[in-house]
């Protein structure tokens, strides 16, 4: 509906078409709202186009190459594994196209009006949407900001899209680099660095702190460090990058390592030191919204901002920056707009790192549970004692369960090993449903499968483990 000659009215305006925005748009439309979704780039956002999906495809490609090169102990010998990297990138792009095409079809089926353009707030309930051809004013009853984030840039390592690159360029290289420096030992840098290492790149990781994956349980990180060493990845911690020289054929990075200045040379430098919320070019102040010192938009438990008409979800709403968190928050915001008493509960948020081996965790660690006053019971079951893990030639790692000693209620879990990314979902469900260790131990798990490790660890909490020695 047009108000005079000035504004187009809409019930819900969603700004950003990533995993938070498009999910929010669909849920709002399902609940009877007229919805317009605006994104300046591709539907699917960073996750589908330049993040989660393409990176996992590239990681899988590296895994397949690595398996073929290291299968002789299984009686499989493959000589001269050839990688057609252009075809691998094309396959990765095809995966992305299938998913983004599917999302576009879902938006259309739910009658969401999709507009490609840039959004600027012009008031507490209005925005201007600039497209290639013109500018349109929209007046909304409610708005959901889901503009995501972008790679954080280090002043001494400015992105040039060629030699100094972000994760975006790393997912679309024309050829496999001979040498790559990864600045930042967080999950993005390690995932892509490991993938390229398996494809044949000589990789060096420079991390400013004293360990890679800071904030992750050290017992989990140790196994990743061990496998990085096996792959030949050189991990340098306490390395503070100072400058980069791109004047030659490659690039040379200078860093101070424990008080000593060192130089590292490569074809490409992948900078992955975190991400920055996309909130600085929206005109949020005109809508009465302030951001914190890191650029995040403060929200309440219903994802509502200081302006009651405007909600913020996903990366712009603060840590953790996870696609599934964005989707979850998008559903909550849409339901609140529709009058439902929904609110967020992050008690069982799954965290997944596609390293080698995979890491996944949710709920409380042993240390966190103790700090919250729990008398803690911890049980760890090794994948080396799991038949399916052994038959997959992937027996590194463990499944650890943290529970309250008195009630045996599941408080959290930490998994390092094969398919950890999939296994964590059963724990999330258990915590959400208030299950205790006996509930899990009494649940029949198919054999031989990886999820049996959860059952075995739960039996350890109950006190009657069968496939490990009772302590």
Residue spans of the domains in the chain: they are 2-151+276-337, 164-273, 351-462
Question: Which residues does the annotation place in the binding site for NAD(+)?
Answer: 184-191, 207, 274
Mean local confidence (pLDDT), 99-111: 96
- The percent of residues in the chain predicted with pLDDT above 70, rounded, is 99
Cα angle 324, 330, 332; round to 5: 110
Q: Which residues pair with 217 in a beta bridge?
A: none
Confidence class for position 1, pLDDT limits 50, 70, 90: very low
Is residue 99 over pLDDT 80?
yes
CATH of 2-151+276-337, one of 3.50.50.60, 2.30.30.230, 3.30.420.10, 3.40.50.300: 3.50.50.60
Over residues 36-54, the mean pLDDT reads 93
pLDDT class of 361 with cuts at 50, 70, 90:
very high
The answer to whether domain 164-273 and domain 351-462 are alike in fold is: no
* Helix-helix angle 85-109:52-69, to 10 degrees: 150
Active site amino acids: 447
Q: What is the per-residue pLDDT for 136?
A: 93
Fold of 351-462: Enolase-like; domain 1 (3.30.390)
Superfamily holding 164-273: FAD/NAD(P)-binding domain (3.50.50.60)
In sequence order, the 6+-apart residues with CB closer than 8 A to the CB of 120 are 127, 128, 130, 281, 282, 283
Mean pLDDT of all residues in the chain? 95
Residues annotated within a binding site for FAD:
56, 147-149, 315, 321-324
Is the pLDDT at 471 greater than 90? The verdict is: no
| Strands in 278-385 per DSSP E | 310-312, 351-353, 359-363, 376-382
Q: What are residue 127's phi and psi, to 5 degrees?
A: -140, 160
Closest CA to 21 of 53, 52, 51, 47: 47
Q: Which residue has the tokens 């509930």?
A: 439
Q: Is the pLDDT of residue 5 over 60?
A: no
Q: Which residues are annotated as a binding site?
A: 56, 147-149, 184-191, 207, 274, 315, 321-324
Give how far the C-alpha of residue 43 lies from the chain's centroid of Cα atoms, to the nearest Å: 18
Q: For residue 336, name the pLDDT band (cuts at 50, 70, 90).
A: very high
């Amino acid at each position: 509906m047009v108000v005079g000659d000035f504004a187009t009215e809409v019930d819900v305006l969603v700004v950003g078409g990533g995993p938070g925005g498009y999910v929010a748009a669909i849920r709002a439309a399902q609940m009877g709202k007229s919805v317009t979704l605006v994104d300046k780039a591709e539907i699917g956002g960073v996750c589908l186009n330049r993040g989660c999906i393409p990176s996992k495809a590239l990681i899988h490609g590296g895994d397949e190459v690595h398996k073929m090169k290291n299968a002789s102990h299984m009686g499989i010998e493959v000589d001269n594994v050839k990688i057609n990297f252009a075809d691998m990138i094309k396959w990765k792009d095809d995966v992305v196209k299938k998913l983004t095409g599917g999302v576009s079809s879902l938006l259309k089926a739910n009658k969401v009006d999709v507009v490609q353009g840039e959004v600027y707030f012009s008031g507490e309930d209005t925005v201007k949407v600039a497209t290639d051809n013109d500018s349109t004013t929209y007046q909304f009853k409610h708005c959901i900001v889901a503009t995501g984030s972008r790679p954080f840039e280090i002043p001494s390592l400015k992105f040039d899209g060629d030699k100094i690159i972000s994760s975006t360029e790393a997912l679309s290289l024309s050829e496999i680099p001979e040498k790559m420096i990864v600045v930042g030992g967080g999950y993005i840098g390690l995932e892509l660095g490991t993938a390229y290492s398996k494809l044949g790149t000589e990789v060096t990781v420079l991390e400013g702190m004293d360990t890679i994956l800071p904030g992750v349980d050290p017992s989990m990180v140790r196994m990743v460090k061990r496998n990085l060493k096996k792959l030949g990845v050189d991990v340098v911690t306490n390395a503070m990058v100072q400058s980069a020289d791109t004047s030659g054929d490659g690039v040379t990075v200078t860093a101070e390592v424990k008080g000593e200045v060192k130089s590292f040379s490569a074809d490409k430098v992948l900078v992955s030191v975190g991400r920055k919320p996309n909130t600085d070019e929206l005109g949020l102040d005109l809508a009465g919204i302030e951001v914190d010192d890191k650029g995040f938009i403060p929200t309440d438990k219903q994802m509502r901002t200081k302006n009651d008409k405007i909600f913020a979800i996903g990366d712009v709403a603060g840590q953790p920056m996870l696609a599934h968190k964005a989707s979850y928050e998008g559903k909550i915001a849409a339901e609140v707009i529709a009058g439902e008493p929904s609110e967020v509960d992050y008690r069982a948020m799954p965290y997944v790192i596609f390293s080698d081996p995979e890491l996944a965790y949710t709920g409380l660690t042993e240390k966190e549970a103790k700090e919250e006053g729990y008398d803690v019971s911890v049980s760890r079951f090794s994948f080396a004692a799991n038949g399916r893990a052994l038959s997959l030639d992937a027996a590194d790692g463990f499944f650890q369960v943290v529970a309250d000693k008195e009630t045996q209620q599941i408080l959290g879990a930490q998994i390092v090993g094969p398919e950890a990314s999939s296994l964590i979902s059963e724990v999330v469900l258990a915590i959400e449903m208030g299950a205790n260790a006996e509930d899990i131990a009494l649940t029949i798990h198919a054999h031989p499968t990886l999820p049996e490790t959860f059952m075995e660890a739960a039996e350890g909490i109950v006190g009657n483990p069968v496939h490990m020695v009772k302590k």
